[in-house]
Amino acid sequence: MSNDNTGASGARAARPLPLAGVKVLDICQVMAGPFACMLLGDLGADVIKIEPPKGGDQTRGSMGFKMKGDDSLGFLNMNRNKRSVALNLKSEAGREVLLRLVREADILVENYRPGAMKRLGLGYEVLKEINPRLVYTSISGFGQTGPWADRPGFDLMAQAMSGVMSVTGYPGGPPVKAGVPVADIGCALFAVYGTLSAYIGARATGQGQHVDAALFDAAMSFSVWDICDYWGTGVEPQPLGTSNKMTAPYQAMACSDGYFVMGANNQKLWAKLCILLGREELLDDPRFTTISQRLANRAALEQELERSFRQQPKDYWVSTLLEAGIPAGPILTYPEAFGSEHAKARNMRMEIDHPVEGKVPNIGFPVKLSGTPQQVRRHPPLLGEHNEEVLAQLGIGAAERAALAAGGAFAE
């Protein structure tokens, strides 16, 4: 967890991380909100995670296996570069502490049910009076407005109700969700985009704003090809397995020892593929002459190509196709992907020092900055680990802290 940004010669002075000096209040639980705030922390923001004193972020106790301490590995992978303050926002004393933090904050991110923060007296309309430049980001299942706004919303519901599940899986099969939480992570990314845009604006004008990010909206934003196809043709999109709506062949193909993926998704690559396979007759087959014809005859195309692909194993086909300039790749498990030489070169697994767990594996930074590379400056915090430090920075001494504690600020 070094903070070394010197150049190769060691002579260049360290450049501050892009968000150094930005203060973020993370009033979030589970995934979308905590992940968004971690990304801000990775870029240098001072992220203070506000948690309920009893148990904290519910993700601390999630997953089906135990670590050495109380925190799950999922929590440890979504909360690095943060400080934790255990604060009971249901108490007047706890809210008093938060309001003092708000006065100094640049950004507040919360992901409670719409209206929950307002009922606590901590909604945007109240807090903007205390700090007009505050960017207040709300993350929820269905947004702050609309007939579904009050519904509880998780990734599964967002995938189902946004249309994503309707095109996932294979034709005629049961409903299938995406194997990764696309609505949660997508919403986190869109929330960061909106939050940083609003923050840049607030620096110029002194006026913050309310950012409304919804899992439902995020999931719908991934529908570009499918919904454009529907708007253009009136035909309702259907699941296609690994195939693609825009071009073919572009999918997983069966071979002698399993499956691999490939994409001959333009006329030049299609011709290369047919010649490589010794199947030049396919070039003249009226079912496959153009992309439109190949899409209309996708099942027959797959059958014809797999007649050839089943003659050799996947490693052969991946290397042979790549050598010919045709995109292809193996279908890896997560252990295989993270253990690959490429993932190692991209630093997609890193280890963080933790006071209870020792070395903790973390997913690496998803983008790389050349001049100010992200850093792990803080381990994922223990619950309430930074109460004294943060309160001291607010100028709250021992006597006042005792009074706040007596008022229930730090306990359920």
User: First vs last Cα of the chain: how many Å apart?
Assistant: 34
**Which amino acid, one-letter code, is at 47?**
V
* 41 token code pair: 């922390």
CA triplet 83, 84, 85: central angle to 5 degrees? Answer: 125
| Chain centre distance of CA 340 | 22
Tokens of 52: 């309920």
Question: Considering 46, 71, 184, 226, which one is annotated as catalytic?
Answer: 184
Strand partners, 83: 48
- Residue 184 falls in the annotated catalytic set: yes
Q: Give dist(CA 348, CA 158) in Å, integer.
A: 28
Structure-block tokens of residue 94: 């706890």
Q: Catalytic residue positions?
A: 184
